[in-house]
Amino acid sequence: MFELNLPWWEYILRGAAVYCALLLMMRLSGKRTIGQFTPFDLLVVMLLSESVSPGLTGGDNSVAGGMIVVVTLVALNIAIAFITARSKKAADLLEGTAVLLGRDGKVFKDALLSNHVAESDLEQALREADCPIEKMKYAFLEADGKITILQH
């Protein structure tokens, strides 16, 4: 139950490698993937979890091996939060920046396309803000994937 099949440091390396790979893939997949899950996105996240599980522990089912991986993942998450809170450059690189989707009632279709935002998502954000398109001053896709509307 507590006996490790691999050296302790290998669990740390495996956890760090999987964390970094998934962080990179999520970053490359775009803001809308992170900010608004569809049922398909949820399915992908669940399958990702299942697919990387053996890679994290190397087939080891021990409690100790699992705990080493958990501590590694939490420590990496805390380290990323610490770094991004203290460095704007790191925050921009790891978390992204806001993207202007529209201004003064005009929607920037190229910005929607390049950020994988459906026009219907922007229309929904406008409705939620109770803002007709002609009163929209700015529409931003935030780094967390939400759409923010500022009115005139």
DSSP 20-85: HHHHHHHHHH-HHHHHS--HHHHHHHHHHHHHHHHHHHTT---HHHHHHHHHHHHHHHHHHHHHHH
The pTM is what? 0.72
Residue 32: predicted pLDDT: 58
Report how far apart, in Å, the C-alpha atoms of 87 and of each of 5, 14, 25, 106 are: 39, 27, 22, 33
Within 8 A by CB and 6+ apart from 56, the residues are: 11, 14, 15, 18, 69
Assigned domain for 1 exists: no
Other beta carbons within 10 Å of 135: 15
75 and 122 co-located in one domain? no
131 and 68 co-located in one domain? no
Residue 147: predicted pLDDT: 95
Mean pLDDT of successive 10-residue segments in the chain (152 residues)? 86 92 81 63 77 83 88 93 95 91 97 92 96 97 92 92
Domain count, the chain: 2
